[in-house]
């Protein structure tokens, strides 16, 4: 699959009703996990670590599209630069 196609798919996904719903749910879950963490300051360290991990994972999911977009856009720019360099070398 070409980077251009992947970028188009990511753009489609970002506006999709299903993705918007997933984002809404994940934001609620992150807030809920943060509130549980704040409400129980004396809990066992492994429980605290677990809740921090769920917050981190939720945020990673919420940030995946922008991160993927930047990576794909960079791939496209590298390809363009290589093409320009190759065409400059042949002239």
Going by the DSSP 8-state scheme, the letter that residue 1 receives in this structure is -
| pTM recorded for the entire structure | 0.75
> Domain residues of the chain, as ranges?
3-83
| H-only helix segments in the chain | 3-15, 17-39, 45-62, 64-90
Per-residue pLDDT tens over the stretch 13-44: 999 999 999 999 999 999 999 998 889 888 89
For 51, the 3-state DSSP assignment is helix
**5/40: higher pLDDT:** 5
Spatial separation of the C-alpha atoms in residues 79 and 66, rounded to whole Å: 20
pLDDT of residue 61: 94
In the chain, the percentage of residues whose pLDDT exceeds 90 is 79
Please give the structure tokens belonging to residue 83.
Answer: 């093409």
């Amino acid at each position: 699959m070409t980077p251009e196609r992947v970028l188009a798919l990511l753009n489609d996904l970002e506006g999709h009703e299903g993705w918007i719903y997933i984002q809404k749910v994940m934001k609620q879950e992150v807030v809920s996990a943060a509130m549980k963490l704040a409400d129980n300051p004396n809990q066992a360290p492994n429980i605290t670590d677990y809740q921090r991990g769920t917050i981190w994972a939720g945020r990673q999911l919420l940030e995946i599209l922008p991160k993927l977009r930047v990576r794909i856009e960079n791939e496209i720019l590298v390809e363009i630069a290589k093409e320009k360099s190759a065409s400059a070398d042949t002239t």
